Structure 1
Amino acid sequence: MSLQNKNMVCALRLGVIGHIAQAFWEDRLPETIDNIPFVMRPRNGPDQTRCCIYKDRAILRERIIAALGFRLEDQTDDSVPLRQLAEQALEDQTPNWPILTVCDIACHGCMKARYFVSDACQGCVARSCAGSCRFGAISFAQGRSYIDANKCRNCGQCHEHCPYQAIVRLNVPCEAACPVQAIHKGPDGRAEIDFDKCTSCGRCMRACPFGAVMERSEVLEVLLALRSEAHVTALVAPAMVGQFKGGLPRIITALKALGFDEVMEVAAGADVTSRKEAEEFVERMARGDKFMTTSCCPAYVEAVRRHAPNLAPFVSSTRTPMHYTAELSREANPETINVFLGPCVAKRTEGLNDPLVDFVLTFEEVGALLDARGINVENCEEAELGNASGAGRGYAISGGVAAAVRKMVDDREAVRPIFVNGLSLQALRKMQSYIDGACPGNLIEVMTCVGGCVGGAGVLAEADKAARLVDRFAQSSPDSVSRD
């Protein structure tokens, strides 16, 4: 189920985290960290991915810096040894925004996104491509069509009208993946992130086939917490069921073997969110609101704040499942350190703004730690589960949040859900049109990632397979949580 063997960039992320963790557990991180690029890319090794082994090692060095929690754009002196940065990170590194960073030497400097006439062009008599172009960008020569890049406006009409599908769209993966157009080419042709637009969803990081967009990890801070005398609680997002073979009871045992003192299902917090959001929905409908949107996706909430502020009054004021689970954790143990384990890179930003959440790890990072520790989830014993409902456990898949809220609303109000399964500027504009125009529903569930949380930027498993496992687990769970 792991993507590690299907995507070399994923394997590099896992490998770096694993090597750092292994060195930390052996109490030799500063002494050996400068050797990690050489260990991962030995001379005459089989896994060279760049033009030369030296560039491979240079980029691994940058990846290690990001894994230590540093921002690559702030590193102006390449002669600083990794040992010095590791010592600094062990002493005083704390998570801060922004959580994404770009490694310029890893960026391929992809060509500008554009439409291109392929060799499939037949030079047909109809010339529908030219007829559909409003800008006079298409001409014919030597029996085929050509696009003048200086005139083309990338409207795509030629692509739509070509009967042979000979005109194709050449995309820049990171730019195409970003739902809010926050990533672009800088003056040197390399990727840059506009953090005034960025919602920290991480989709650009997941899409870049060269691994140039990286996240600043909090794994070292979590390792320090686990080694300390402090009580540490893992807050496990519902999507985790689909990430490791063996099921949630064995995952809980594996996390405790990793060093966590307590493991709590975030599905329990999802039940609180469902209850509160249902109450809010009923109140809003009673006062005449046209619709309400869900609020559990932090990237969506950030997108509203930055790109569609007129939607803000329609976003539920209910807090996220992560917050309510952290609240339950602190009620049980006021001194515990809360570590959220989830599929979402944007949760790091939410965690920075929530005093109840201390650190955030992605499923990729958790998987790397388990591998480095030699913990196989399938071989672990089953632990006892809490009393989260099946509806709360289904939050991880598209449609799950609306279904849970609808169940809590019951017959008090007619719920007519609308689903945004993968956020985009077009989807935001569509929702904005509902403010003054007709709205086909009254509860809009918004998931930034296609498929829901199982499609997040920090997952290990393929979204469709993970969704089936999550749904199966949710369907087999009780729905005993009341509205009270």
Structure 2
Amino acid sequence: MPIKSLNNTSALRLTVLEHIASAFWEGRLEESVDKIPFLMRPRTETPTRCCVYKDRAVIRERIIGALGFRLEEERDESVPLKEYAARALERRKPTWPILTVCDIACHGCLKARYFVSDACQACVARPCQSVCRFNAISFAHERSYIDADRCRNCGLCKESCPYQAIVHLNVPCEAACPVQAIHKGEEGRAIIDFDKCTSCGRCMRACPFGAVIERREVLEVLRAVKEGAHVTALVAPAIVGQYEGGPGRIAAALRELGFSDVIEVAEGADRTSQHEADEFVERMARGDKFMTTSCCPAYVEAVRRHAPELLPFVSETPTPMHYAAVIARERHEKTITVFIGPCVAKRQEGLRDDLVDYVLTFEEVGALFSARGINVAECAEAPLGGASGEGRGYAVSGGVAAAVKKLVGDRCEVKPLYINGLSLKGLRQLKQYASGECPGNLVEVMTCEGGCVGGAGVMAPSKKAARAVENFSKTGKV
């Protein structure tokens, strides 16, 4: 089955995983893993970087990350991949941190800045110079120039230019990070500050060179399935828009992959909604200014690390993933639980939750389907679950607040407020709500724009996935 991906870096991630999974299922991972870089980049193929040898070196690093290791700790390039594979096959539990950086893949992008393009007309009005408060703009040779030493990157010059001649150069990973946890090191390559990092994965999704890598848990799951353990897939609501064929066929495909049971995390969301609605009513009765939702792990981690003054306002209700794991253990006490979703930060939540054993992303499951030759669209329909439409709507922005508001009913007034895509500005605004007035009393926070459908581990464009989720939540069909 052909791999469908959002872009070439996504395709690279999928192909590495497909090779690893195929080799594992065939029982030859240790003997064949060192061949994967050569299979993926033969000499006859045009390289994507400077040469085929650098392509292979980057693929080798990606394999180490896919096997679950931190690249920052693995500096001996002479160690064969088969040794990493052997160590990975012995590992039973994933570890923190979730992300790692492949420095040889990092492009060492130019510093983020504003600069004047050739579209400048050196107009008489010179609004760019007028609005600059730092005297950073001068004129010479019939065009304007920006003094990088004086510029403070406020962007007013860009906004004022009638010719749109001033351009902002981004560093994609830095621009994507909502908490400024990634920056350039002394050698100009990306470094993640794990004291700040919330594991949201937005830097990984944003980097056009694929330099930020997830430490995978794929082998642990594959081993559990191969050993015949009872393994339950906890599928997040956003899954309905990720593969062709609809939710019933996705459930069948997961069973064909080897999962013993499949549970909608939306069933857990229904429990979260009820408990969060009760908690909201209790908080409003005791005089709390507002309550924020708690189901986005990257947001909750951002509060812990960057805005502890918000902690008293965060709902104490467990997440849908936790309640779905509770349901799984109610059905089968000894089952191994595997959350399958769009979110990289769920790995961090999973490390804290004793009921959740492993976390896979939609990308990873897509690679496993491909490696196993499973075409979701050709699978027979299988029952997925009996969650409510509101629980299934958790995957899109506004869905959590809507579900909670419905269950609050007429017990008290609900004034929802939405943070659709967490940013530094949004985090500052939330801090102001904590110390001052808040225009709402139920604040839904989604780190990824659009909601979970915009997560770092998705297969489908977020708008397409959102439409599928909304249709499924309303009609039970995609």
Could you tell me the TM-score, scaled by structure 1's length?
Answer: 0.97
Gaps of 5+ in 2: none
Q: Superposition pairs for residues 189-204 of structure 1, below 5 Å?
A: 189-204=188-203
Q: Does 1:17 align with 2:17?
A: yes
Q: Does 1:293 align with 2:292?
A: yes
Whole-Å Cα distance in 2 between the matches of residues 209 and 159 of structure 1?
24
Give the 3-state SS of the residue equivalent to 1:108 in structure 2.
coil
Q: Does 1:42 align with 2:53?
A: no
Whole-Å Cα distance in 1 between the matches of residues 263 and 8 of structure 2?
32
Specify the code of the residue in structure 2 equivalent to 1:255: L
Whole-Å Cα distance in 2 between the matches of residues 106 and 93 of structure 1?
29
Q: Is the 8 A contact 2:3 2:370 kept in 1?
A: no
Specify the code of the residue in structure 1 equivalent to 2:437: A
Whole-Å Cα distance in 2 between the matches of residues 65 and 94 of structure 1?
16
Q: Superposition pairs for residues 24-63 of structure 1, below 5 Å?
A: 24-46=24-46, 48-63=47-62
Q: Is the 8 A contact 2:362 2:458 kept in 1?
A: yes
Specify the code of the residue in structure 2 equivalent to 1:235: L
1:431 shift after superposition:
1.4
Cα distance change of structure 1 residues 45 and 186 upon mapping to structure 2, 3 Å threshold: same
Deviations 1:414-434 (A, max 9, x none): 111001000011101111112
Deviations 1:275-316 (A, max 9, x none): 000000000111111110000000000000111110110000
Whole-Å Cα distance in 1 between the matches of residues 297 and 204 of structure 2?
17
Q: In the alignment, what sits opposite 1:481?
A: none
Q: In the alignment, what sits opposite 2:454?
A: 455
Whole-Å Cα distance in 1 between the matches of residues 30 and 437 of structure 2?
61
Whole-Å Cα distance in 2 between the matches of residues 407 and 49 of structure 1?
51
Q: In the alignment, what sits opposite 2:305?
A: 306
Give the 3-state SS of the residue equivalent to 2:394 in structure 1.
coil
Q: Is the 8 A contact 1:174 1:183 kept in 2?
A: yes
Specify the code of the residue in structure 2 equivalent to 1:316: S
Whole-Å Cα distance in 2 between the matches of residues 321 and 365 of structure 1?
21
1:93 shift after superposition:
5.5
Whole-Å Cα distance in 2 between the matches of residues 408 and 283 of structure 1?
13
Q: In the alignment, what sits opposite 1:353?
A: 352
Deviations 1:69-122 (A, max 9, x none): 000000020000001111111123631000100000000000000001011111
Q: Is the 8 A contact 1:3 1:461 kept in 2?
A: no
Q: In the alignment, what sits opposite 1:212?
A: 211
Q: Is the 8 A contact 1:3 1:460 kept in 2?
A: no
Give the total of aligned pairs. 476
Gaps of 5+ in 1: 479-484
Cα distance change of structure 1 residues 93 and 105 upon mapping to structure 2, 3 Å threshold: farther
1:477 shift after superposition:
3.9
Q: Superposition pairs for residues 34-433 of structure 1, below 5 Å?
A: 34-46=34-46, 48-92=47-91, 94-433=93-432
Specify the code of the residue in structure 2 equivalent to 1:9: T
Whole-Å Cα distance in 2 between the matches of residues 23 and 218 of structure 1?
16
Specify the code of the residue in structure 2 equivalent to 1:449: C
Give the 3-state SS of the residue equivalent to 1:24 in structure 2.
helix
Whole-Å Cα distance in 2 between the matches of residues 41 and 234 of structure 1?
34
Q: In the alignment, what sits opposite 1:465?
A: 464
Q: Is the 8 A contact 1:3 1:10 kept in 2?
A: no
1:11 shift after superposition:
0.5
Give the 3-state SS of the residue equivalent to 1:165 in structure 2.
coil
1:398 shift after superposition:
0.4
Q: Is the 8 A contact 1:280 1:316 kept in 2?
A: yes
Cα distance change of structure 1 residues 6 and 455 upon mapping to structure 2, 3 Å threshold: closer
Give the 3-state SS of the residue equivalent to 1:466 in structure 2.
helix
Q: Over aligned residues, Cα RMSD in angstroms? A: 1.2
Whole-Å Cα distance in 1 between the matches of residues 371 and 29 of structure 2?
14
Whole-Å Cα distance in 2 between the matches of residues 408 and 477 of structure 1?
20
Q: Is the 8 A contact 2:293 2:314 kept in 1?
A: yes
Q: Is the 8 A contact 1:9 1:209 kept in 2?
A: yes
Cα distance change of structure 1 residues 6 and 270 upon mapping to structure 2, 3 Å threshold: closer
* Deviates most, 324-333 or 91-100: 91-100
Q: Is the 8 A contact 1:69 1:93 kept in 2?
A: no
Whole-Å Cα distance in 2 between the matches of residues 93 and 87 of structure 1?
12
* Deviates most, 74-83 or 87-96: 87-96
Specify the code of the residue in structure 1 equivalent to 2:8: M
Give the 3-state SS of the residue equivalent to 1:49 in structure 2.
coil
Whole-Å Cα distance in 2 between the matches of residues 329 and 162 of structure 1?
58
Specify the code of the residue in structure 2 equivalent to 1:25: W
Whole-Å Cα distance in 2 between the matches of residues 228 and 142 of structure 1?
73
Q: Is the 8 A contact 1:422 1:450 kept in 2?
A: yes
Whole-Å Cα distance in 2 between the matches of residues 28 and 106 of structure 1?
28
